[in-house]
Amino acid sequence: FDKRYNALAERYEKANARLDEISAYRADKAYRERQMSAFLLELQKLPEVLTDYDDHLWHMLLDRATVCADGAVQFTFRDGNTITIAN
């Protein structure tokens, strides 16, 4: 009886851990979908052609800017793309 119980308990723990992983993944996907929807809504409010610098748009696009030791600046955008501007 103990062997069977332990096997079932182990199986339950594995399934429960997998459920936690999937739940976290789904929550992350839902969060990203909300972020993307908000971003697209903001983009729709903008004119078709941008003629001036838009601080709000810049902050929506950029994740971080890193200044390197050699003076180069690396911009990392929210979609994962990076651009490096050498000094």
The predicted structure's pLDDT at residue 30: 94
Residue 45 and residue 41: Cα distance in Å, rounded?
7
pLDDT tens, the chain, 87 aa long: 889 999 999 999 999 999 999 999 999 999 989 988 888 887 788 778 878 887 888 888 888 999 999 989 999 988 888 999 987
The pLDDT of residue 74 is 94
Tokens 């696009």 — which residue?
Answer: 61
Q: What is the pLDDT of residue 51?
A: 81
Its pTM surpasses 0.85: no
